[in-house]
Copies of this chain bind each other. A is one copy, B any other.
Amino acid sequence: MKIKAGIIGATGYAGAELARLLLQRDDVELVWYGSRSYVGQDFASIYRNMAHAAMEPCQDDDMGKLAELADVIFTATPQGFCAAQVTEELLQKTKIIDLSADFRIKDVEIYEQWYKIKHPTPQFLPEAVYGLPEVNREQVKKARLVANPGCYPTCSFLTIYPLVKEGLIDPDTIIIDAKSGTSGAGRGNKTDSLYCEVNESIKAYGVASHRHTPEIEEQLSYAAGKPVTISFTPHLVPMNRGILVTAYASLTESVTAEQVKAVYDSYYQDEYFVRVLEPGMPPQTRWVEGSNFADVGFQLDSRTNRIVMMGAIDNMVKGAAGQAMQNMNLMFGLPEQTGLRQIPVFP
């Protein structure tokens, strides 16, 4: 029997990528293409790549109605939407995987401060599981409500986490310089997202104020066992997909590249979706594009006693839709890689 899945916010880039991944599976039936802007229009007329596979009109965002039909609901919606809809009744009928930030941050004050909105249902925060399978696999399996991590936090955390956890680096010195393809900006009609504005240029944005900062900090704090404050600077890169994280930190002790590699391996050798590179080899977004892989590498710098940690993901897949499906697999007792074994597309 097929898993019945519905997507609220199916016509944004993340929602559409989720549709693409789900439609490629034989064991899932996509029953709802929710899109407030396109209600009644054929989904395939908006995303013609799926013309042969998705023959249904878009529907509204009535999660109550959808909960009657679906075993799992994905919400790829603006901040605040999912939180405003979740009820105990809903969660008794269906599982929810929320791709927004509503349930990612446990501390509601921090959420409200960075997102500038009041959280309508903080009572579900304790139950919500932060859906990074490489860290929270067992909790995800049992979850009714999963907060799918942000794209930058996924890449940043996978890149840094083992070294923080093992105490190899000083968490107070962590600086994350991240670079993202433009799909991360979404499909909204903004001048700053026009082709001619993005092409042939690079810029930082949200410097010292990007909302993924507290999400990264919270997860790193769990790893460090104490509050961690970081510098985080995202950049917009003229490419469609991909996130590259270049992270800097001071070493707490003298280590060799082999030792650091061994630490990464101890965390990731059984993780299908994390590929640890040889010391000194920088990851590149082209090698993960279109896949759920995270490539992680590092370079020691004895001159400065720092380490440069680097990670690359496809922001649409491991950074959003792929990870959501990875979580779905876990929640339904399926092999985690189901539908996610695509080899990265190059060139």
Contacts and interface: CB of A to CB of B under 8 A. Distances in A.
A246 B231 CA distance: 12
Interface in A262-291: 272, 275, 280, 282-291
Interface string A310-346: 1010001000000000000000000000000111111
A199 interface: yes
Nearest to A346: B49
A197 B284 CA distance: 10
Interface stretch (A100-108, A155-163, A233-241): A233-241
A283 B51 CA distance: 12
Interface centre among A20, A23, A244, A344 (most CB of B within 10 A): A344
Contact of A341 (B24, B194, B346): B24
A93 interface: no
Interface residues of A, number: 83
A53 interface: yes
A179 B347 CA distance: 17
Interface string A291-325: 10101000111011010101010001000000000
Contact of A24 (B47, B241, B342): B342
B246 A49 contact: no
Given A246-B177, A346-B47, A304 B201 contact: no
A272 B280 CA distance: 41
Interface stretch (A72-80, A115-123, A133-141, A204-212): A204-212
A170 B306 CA distance: 16
A92 interface: no
Contacts of A246: 177, 204, 233, 235
A187 B229 CA distance: 40
A191 interface: yes
A202 interface: yes
A287 B16 CA distance: 13
Nearest to A204: B282
Contact of A345 (B20, B177, B207, B244): B20
Interface of A: 13, 16, 20, 23-24, 47-53, 175, 177, 179, 181-183, 187, 189-191, 193-205, 207-208, 229-231, 233, 235, 237-242, 244, 246, 248, 272, 275, 280, 282-291, 293, 295, 299-301, 303-304, 306, 308, 310, 312, 316, 341-347
